[in-house]
Structure 1
Amino acid sequence: MRAIALGGILVVLMARALWAHASEQGFVLLLPTDAYIAAGGATVAVTVVLLALLPERLAVALFRPVTMMRGRGPELRHVTSVLAAVGLGVLVWRGLSGSRDPLVNPMPLFVWVVWWIVMVSVQGLIGNHWRWSNPWTGPAALLGRLTGMRAPWRYPRKLGVWPGVVLFLAFAGFLLADPAPADPARLAVIVGLYWYVTLAGLLVFGPVWMVRAEPLTVLMRAYARMGLLGRARGRIAIGLSGWQVLRGPKIGLGMAVFILLMLGSGSFDGLNETFWWMGLLGINPLEFPGRSAVILPNVVGLLVANSTLIAGFLGCLWLGERIAGGTEPLVAVFGRYAPTILPIALAYHIAHYLTSFLVDGQYVLRALNDPLGRGADLLGLADYHVTTGFLNTPGTVKVIWLAQGGTVVAGHVIAILLAHAVAMQHVRNTRRALLGQAPLALFMVLYTVFGLWLLASPRGV
């Protein structure tokens, strides 16, 4: 009963303190979490066993897409990109001139809810909308047409995607360690400056800048490989999530590291909010001193979490290659299997931010109801009051947790199937493929349990 009371009190106290960039799950889930975590891990483990019993090449067949019509039509991506840039300009203006409340000002709401939660999730679930919705390629094409200017410099090939890796870590650090990542004016300045710097890089180095050095585009292109919709043989095709990974080009070391950072940073985004992490830092989670007190620990924790994940993943690949009798360099094996982590990263991203979407999405609707802050009532929501009552009801909390847990387990099952399909593409012997995958499969099972534990752990910030 004390746990129930504590959970209810925490929900009430923290419902109004939700930042617009993260789920901030400050409540104790009143569910038999040990049983659910064990069931999730067992589900993934059973999937591994089934792979040993299923007919050869079945995993590859599961990811074979169905082609549909040819993707013809007017080229509108530059037009929509310009419109996205105009919309971003309006958001920056509202961030600088509007309310300082991050749940009222549309700037943080659209950055952290619409883009970071919704648009990233849609990119991974459906397909590559970033080609049309990014705010840079259209303005760059328009400037090029008006001035006749072409990119004067060639992007250094040796750099690869490493600039994107470094900038993505900086983005993750800002998200997790900045004292006020949802402050409207502060965020508007950062976003505005970043837009100009990225546009300058695009104009100076050409489109390659976007796919090598611009971390948001690198991230979106990586998640696009998980989309149900894509292109195959010049036609629009649809298939099981992950089918584009098998048909995509080989990736290098930098891109493999970037993909692991996507998972590691997302996982630490959940870990740094748990009572366990607060206890490790010697902080009472019920008397949290503020984000400024944990800047350095969170930055160090982010780096350590990512380094540990990459080291563990490489260790499993090395061990699997030795067990299977392979002789390929570890870098090549790393580049082959790193994309199979994408289903896990996407699943955890969706599950982790589900409660934030359910709560902060209501504030987004209110912002859309009056986008310019002039007292408009475009959607008829002027009298609508945001509700968090569903977080107080055991039935709805259970549905939310099951949705989160199911998403995580589904992502891991797809990842294991995808890893097996990748192995079968390169190893003709099923026994060798299974032996080589055993350490990686164990890694994925353990990460399933870890991901479910993160979702079930009480939060203190």
Structure 2
Amino acid sequence: MTPDPADQVTLAHSGLGNAADLPIPLEAVVIGSVVALAASFLVLAVAWRRPRYDGPEPGTTRMRPWAPGAVRRIGAVVDHPVTRVLARLLGAAFFGYMMFALVAGPDYATNPGLGMFYVLLWVGIVPASLFLGRFYRAVSPVRTINAGLSRLAGTDPEHGLRDLPSWVGYWPAAIGLYAFVWLELVSTNGVETSAVRLWLAAYFALMLVGGAVFGNVFYERCDPFEAYSTLVAHVSVWGRDADGTLVARSPLANLATLRPAAGLVALVAVLFGSTAYDSFRESLPFVRFVNTSTLDSDLILNVTLIGVVAIVGLLLTLASVAVPAREGIGRRELPSLMAHSIAPIIVGYVGAHYLTYLLEFGQQVVIYMSDPLARGSNWLGTADLQPSYFLSDNIGLLAFVQVSGVVVGHIVAAVAAHDRSLSVLPRQHQLLGQLPMLGVMIAFTGGGLYLLFAS
């Protein structure tokens, strides 16, 4: 009997906790978290009166790396040509195997290509980039193909036929990420191998053409997976200095190095908004509304997704421009200058929401990978493994980890926003001018926790 795709996807998300799993009432968790965030702001207002990561001008960071000698030795290994080649081969092997399963395997929800795409690649980007830095950049298959084509043509992959216009910014990456989350969360064909194949075909075509025209800078700004990975990597301890040398430093210091650019607000809005939407669509009130409404369910889901993303972007923009900037900085620049502070929120909320999805259903995907053609094979030796459901079996621990991820992410975001505000706001507005952003973060904290446990 062919597995029902809808049932399989429901199973993939079933490990999330709910309000009944919390050791204390949900209302107390939300109130406590909001109070913790507000208290953090008060401490920052009193004890943190000068920017520690932004210099006199926004973006000119003053950071001291950790253990430079040890990191230098690690960097020598990471940047060694052999390591770079192995990373490229790993990325090519992963994408090649995924495409093989999607093309040659059956159109079942258990096709490992679907799990590799939605679980190992999409969700796995966050922990991989958080612990390893700019992970996707190192394994990117489109960079590998572009480098190979450039070698054959005798050209430099770093430079294309023309420069990428500055107004492009992160807009293509934001659009690409929206296309991905739409396919995963809204499209009725999202669990069909043909739809994923089509999406990946468009992805490779656009990326290869863009790389040929604009060079590798195109991938930094326009590749949705690389832009996502790089954003998360700014919350890690691994970064690069002005010369491209590997350094280890505070995540707050790394966050300060994220350069503002056009489309950055849209990028973070899509990432946070789509995760919030994923929680909201599983909440009982929304499910009842969709089931009882006379409106077309596809229309409701599409409008809701774009609405949630738009609300996140609008709130961030309005909170950023609520007060004027210091002399020399345009008011319109403020949203991009403050957008970096949303990155820790994305990491915390995505980690909380998809934790069991990655750790538990991800194990099932690895098991499926041994039999991509559904013929009872065991190519990778994983077919007989049994997945562990430790977190789902310890639901109180799961709820604690989820709440901690959301709260810690918001507190780190508040610190980053405070430090940047001290650099971009005039002295008379440096304290009160932060209140709109604090209000938005409190709303994100309370709303995020409610949605996380509302299903």
Give the TM-score taking structure 1 as reference length: 0.82
- In the TM superposition, 1:65-80 aligns within 5 A as 65-66=65-66, 68=68, 69-70=71-72, 71-72=75-76, 73-75=79-81, 76-77=83-84, 80=87
In structure 2, the partner of 1:436 is 433
Q: Does 1:300 align with 2:315?
A: no
Whole-angstrom CA distance in 1 between matches of 2:330 and 2:164: 28
Deviates more, 1:187-196 or 1:263-272: 187-196
Inter-partner Cα distance in structure 1 for 2:383 and 2:216 = 43
- Give distance in 1, aligned partners of 2:172 and 2:382: 44
Matched residue, 1:176: 185
The answer to whether the aligner puts 1:228 opposite 2:231 as a matched pair is no
CA distance in 1, matches of 2:177, 2:384: 40
Partner of 2:402: 404
Matched, 1:54 2:44: no
After the TM superposition, which of the residue ranges 348-357 and 48-57 deviates more from structure 2?
48-57
- Higher mean C-alpha displacement, 55-64 vs 170-179: 55-64
Letter in 2 for 1:259: V
How many angstroms does 1:451 deviate by?
0.7
Using the TM superposition, give the Cα deviation of residue 299 of structure 1 relative to its aligned residue in structure 2, in angstroms: 1.5
Cα deviation, residue 241, structure 1: 2.3
Q: Which residue of 2 aligns with 1:209?
A: 218
Provide the C-alpha distance between the structure 2 equivalents of 1:78 and 1:170, rounded to a whole number of angstroms.
30
Q: Deviations over 1:265-314 (max 9, x none)?
A: 22112212211222343549xxxx9xx96322122112211222222222
Look up the SS of the partner of 2:246 in the other structure: strand
Q: How has the CA–CA distance of structure 1 residues 26 and 408 changed in structure 2, closer, same or farther, with 3 Å as cutoff?
A: closer
Moved more, 77-86 or 106-115: 77-86
- Counterpart of 2:121 in structure 1 is 115
Give the 3 Å change call, closer, same or farther, for CA 300–95 of structure 1 in structure 2. Answer: same
Alignment partner, residue 87 of structure 1 = 94
Deviates most, 438-447 or 357-366: 357-366
Could you tell me whether the CA contact under 8 Å between 1:20 and 1:109 is conserved in 2? Answer: no
Whole-angstrom distance in 2 between the partners of 1:206 and 1:237: 25
**What does 1:215-294 align with in structure 2 at a 5 Å threshold?**
215-232=224-241, 234=243, 235-249=245-259, 251-283=260-292, 294=297
TM-superposed CA distance for 1:379, in Å, is 6.9
What is the identity, as a one-letter code, of the residue corresponding to 2:338? Y
Distance in structure 2 (CA, Å) of the matches to 1:20 and 1:99: 20
Structure 2 letter corresponding to 1:401: A
Distance 1:17 1:389 in 2: 22
Q: Which of the residues 421, 444, 452 maps onto 1:423?
A: 421
Q: What SS does structure 2 have at the residue aligned with 1:237?
A: strand
Q: CA 1:86–1:447 in 2, change beyond 3 Å: closer, same or farther?
A: same
- CA-CA distance at 1:28 after TM superposition: 4.4
Aligned counterpart for 1:35 among listed residues 28, 40, 46: 28
Deviation at 1:418? 0.7
| 2:449 maps to which of 430, 452, 456 | 452
Check the 8 A contact 2:173/2:221 in 1, yes or no.
yes
The offset of 1:137, in angstroms, is: 0.9
In the alignment, does 2:18 pair up with 1:23?
no
Q: Distance in 2 between matches of 1:454 and 1:118?
A: 22
- 2:321 is paired with a residue whose SS is helix
Is residue 81–residue 136 contact of structure 1 (8 Å, CA) maintained in 2?
no
Query: Contact 1:274–1:457 (CA<8 Å) still a contact in 2?
Result: yes
Gaps of 5+ in 1: 1-13
Q: Distance in 2 between matches of 1:375 and 1:299?
A: 39
Match of 2:363 in 1: 362
Structure 2 unpaired stretches of 5+: 55-61
Cα pair distance change 1:22/1:370, threshold 3 Å = closer
- SS at structure 1 position matched to 2:133: coil
Please report the RMSD computed on the Cα atoms of aligned residues, expressed in angstroms: 3.3
The answer to whether structure 1 residue 315 and structure 2 residue 305 are counterparts is: no
Distance between the aligned counterparts of 1:110 and 1:325, measured in 2? 47
Report the counterpart of residue 169 of structure 2 in structure 1.
160
Quick one: distance in 2 between partners of 1:28 and 1:263? 20
Mapped partners of 1:95, 1:255: distance in 2: 32
Structure 1 residue 82 displacement after superposition: 4.6
Alpha-carbon distance in 2 for matches of 1:19, 1:244: 36
Q: Aligned partners of 1:174 and 1:115: how far apart in 2?
A: 15
Q: Distance in 2 between matches of 1:233 and 1:148?
A: 28
> What SS does structure 2 have at the residue aligned with 1:181?
coil
Q: 1:55 and 1:161 mapped to 2: Cα distance?
A: 31
One-letter identity of the residue aligned with 2:318 = G
Instruction: Specify the code of the residue in structure 2 equivalent to 1:17.
Output: D
How far 1:370 moved relative to its partner? 4.9
Matched, 1:128 2:128: no
> How far off is 1:371 after superposition?
6.2
Q: Percent identity?
A: 23
Give distance in 2, aligned partners of 1:57 and 1:125. 29
CA distance in structure 2 between the aligned counterparts of 1:325 and 1:131, rounded to whole angstroms: 35
User: What is the rounded CA distance, in whole Å, between the counterparts of 2:409 and 2:285 in structure 1?
Assistant: 25
Q: 1:315 to 1:22 in 2, by over 3 A?
A: farther
Task: Summarize the Cα distance change of 1:339–1:60 in structure 2 as closer, same or farther, 3 Å threshold.
Answer: same
Between the aligned partners of 1:64 and 1:346, the Cα distance in structure 2 is 24
| Aligned equivalents of 2:310, 2:202: Cα separation in 1 | 30
Q: Classify 1:387/1:295 alpha carbon distance in 2 versus 1 (closer, same or farther; 3 Å).
A: farther
The 8 Å contact of residues 20 and 360 in structure 1, kept in 2 or not, is answered as no
Q: 1:330 is matched with which residue?
A: 331
Letter in 2 for 1:173: W
